[in-house]
Amino acid sequence: MVNIFVLIKQVPGTHNLEIDKKNGALIREGIETMINPDDLYALELGLKLKERYGGNTTALTMGPSQAEFALRECLAMGVDEAIHVCDQIFAYSDTLQTTLVLKEVFDKIKNYDLIITGSQTSDSSTGQVPYQLSEALDIPLITDIFSIELKNGFVQCQRNFGHESQNIQVELPIILRVRKHFNKPRPLSLLGIKKAFEKGIKKFDFNSLNCPDSIDGCNKSPTRVVKTEKISLQRKNEIIKGTITEKIQKIIEIIQEHGIEKIWVGGAHE
């Protein structure tokens, strides 16, 4: 039976981000959140593989207590189980500290075959964790696949690697990083939502993982954010009034101001 884990993250889902003037940190209280968009493609692949080959799917996240809602959403999409890695000491973890915690989690789980991730998070946008987890667990990371088959402890897939398209075979366990648009993530079903609230979520914290002292998100993350600045989207917001013809005329002027002219496409081209 294949044991599939999908790593997800809860991210802010709004463009009205505000910064706390006192400490320069992002205000996270009371803002809308969502599952990181790229992770939906990873979830969909996990669910598809289970439908095709059987096995068990688990959504896993590391994050504050409200990240539980993101896990409920994964359960509603159809994953079998959810794991929430949550502890005050994991807060402010950078990618290295996150990887170190995930290593403890998977060392504890032991029985994992496929760890699927999205390509990047929309908040910090580093994309580093899949590579670092591949180092930490010493298992291969496969990226940019366009087809996949599971066979008896192996995966066969087609991937783009450098400037080549390759057919590869690799023994499980592996990490798969799924690119955007790899598939069409399924919507939530009402039945799924109902089921999601009947299922339990497994929790891991510092103690239950027997974490070493080197784990301390706030104090031992090698990188430190020292300043956060909001970039204002300063725009003119000029409303163009008048008839439809006048509005069209104004757009034509704007287009021409940008050096774009009528071009000749008739005649014997193509």
Partner 1 sequence: MNNESDYKDIWVFTEIKDHVKVHDCALEILGKGREIADKLGQNLVAVMLALDAEQYISVIEEHGADKIIYMSHPELKHYHERIFTKIVHEFVEEYKPSIFLFPSTEVGNALAARIAYRCKTGLVSDVLNLELSDEYGENLLLTDKPAYGGNIHVKIICPNTRPQMCTITMGTFKKTLIQKATVEIIKKEFNHDVQSKIKIIGTPTRKDKPTSTLSDVKFVLGGGNGLVSKDNFNKLFQLARLTSGQVGGTRRPILDGWMPEHLQIGISGETISSDLYISFGISGAIQHVVGIKDSKTIVAINKDPNAPIFRVADYCIIADAKDILDGLLEYFTVD
CB of 266 to partner 1, least distance (A): 7
Integer Cα distance of 250 and 15 in angstroms: 29
Q: Return the number of the residue (17 or 199) whose C-beta is nearest partner 1.
A: 17
Q: Return the number of the residue (180 or 194) whose C-beta is nearest partner 1.
A: 180
CB of 148 to partner 1, least distance (A): 14
Phi, psi for 111 (deg, rounded to 5): -90, 80
Q: Return the number of the residue (65 or 169) whose C-beta is nearest partner 1.
A: 169
Only one residue has tokens 């987890």, namely: 133
Q: Return the number of the residue (59 or 174) whose C-beta is nearest partner 1.
A: 174
Integer Cα distance of 224 and 132 in angstroms: 18
Integer Cα distance of 104 and 84 in angstroms: 13
Region of 152 (left: φ > 0; alpha: ψ -120 to 50; beta: rest) is left
CB of 32 to partner 1, least distance (A): 10
Integer Cα distance of 31 and 24 in angstroms: 17
CB of 222 to partner 1, least distance (A): 3
Q: Return the number of the residue (125 or 197) whose C-beta is nearest partner 1.
A: 125
Q: How far separated are the first and last CA of the chain, in Å rounded?
A: 54
CB 90 within 8 A of CB 62: yes
CB of 27 to partner 1, least distance (A): 11
CB of 100 to partner 1, least distance (A): 9
Distances (CA, A) of 182 to 4, 80, 214: 18, 22, 37
Burial level of 92, CB count in 10 A (0-12/13-18/19+)?
Answer: middle
Integer Cα distance of 270 and 258 in angstroms: 27
Q: Return the number of the residue (210 or 214) whose C-beta is nearest partner 1.
A: 214
CB of 55 to partner 1, least distance (A): 21
Residue type, 230: K
C-beta neighbour count of 260 within 10 angstroms: 10
Beta bridge partners of 116: 6, 176
Q: Return the number of the residue (40 or 82) whose C-beta is nearest partner 1.
A: 40
